[in-house]
Amino acid sequence: MDIVKTVADAIAEIPGHPSSREVARVAIEEYQKALWTPLFDQENRFGMVPELRRRHAQMLTAHIMHAIGDYLCPHGEVDGLREANGKLFEMIYESGAYIVTDADRQAAGLPMRGPYGLTLQELQIMEAKRIEAMLSPMPPMIHVSNSVI
């Protein structure tokens, strides 16, 4: 996603001889479209639903950068820190990653997770699939002899 090219293309498409104010307006609008998604999903037919993906990505990025920031730039150089933060945010946002905490699960009325991060029901489902695989018949095997006649 090349934001500068997108903005330059939008400015180039302004008809006539635009004023500097018009150029600035178009540039700001294009930067906003490229950098910030709308607060609400406009395509949802069931009403306005908040677009939380950016917020979740920002929270996760901030949490990670808080933990590793001191190790990235110990000499006060902030350019590397900014670049790492930007790349990390882009990766998290594009993948749609989100962490569901125990507090989130409790607020949603979901069962709590065990020590391995799974609920009791999830463990039971996984164990049932393992047992089913172990009890299923073995595929037929053909033994080929390499004897010389």
Quote the pLDDT of residue 129.
92
Same domain assignment for residues 31 and 94:
no
| 99 assigned to some structural domain | yes
Instruction: Please check whether residues 67 and 103 belong to one and the same domain.
Output: yes
Reported as a single tens digit per residue, the pLDDT across 65-103 is 888 877 776 666 667 777 888 888 888 888 888 888 888
Residue 18 lies in a domain: yes
Residue range(s) defining the domain that contains residue 6: 1-36
- Predicted confidence at residue 112, as pLDDT, reads 84
What pairs with residue 49 in β-bridges?
A: 41
Query: Beta strand 49-50 with 40-41: parallel, antiparallel or unpaired?
Result: antiparallel
**19-53 in b/e burial notation, b at 16+ Cβ within 10 A?**
eeeeeeebeeebeeebeeeeeeeeeeeeeeeeeeb
Q: Does the residue 131 lie in any domain?
A: no
End-to-end CA distance of the chain: 68
pLDDT in tens, 2-17: 777 888 888 888 888 8
Q: Is the whole model's pTM more than 0.85, yes or no?
A: no
Classify burial at 112, counting beta carbons within 10 Å of its beta carbon; exposed 0-12, middle 13-18, buried 19 or more: exposed
Query: 115 and 58 in one domain?
Result: yes
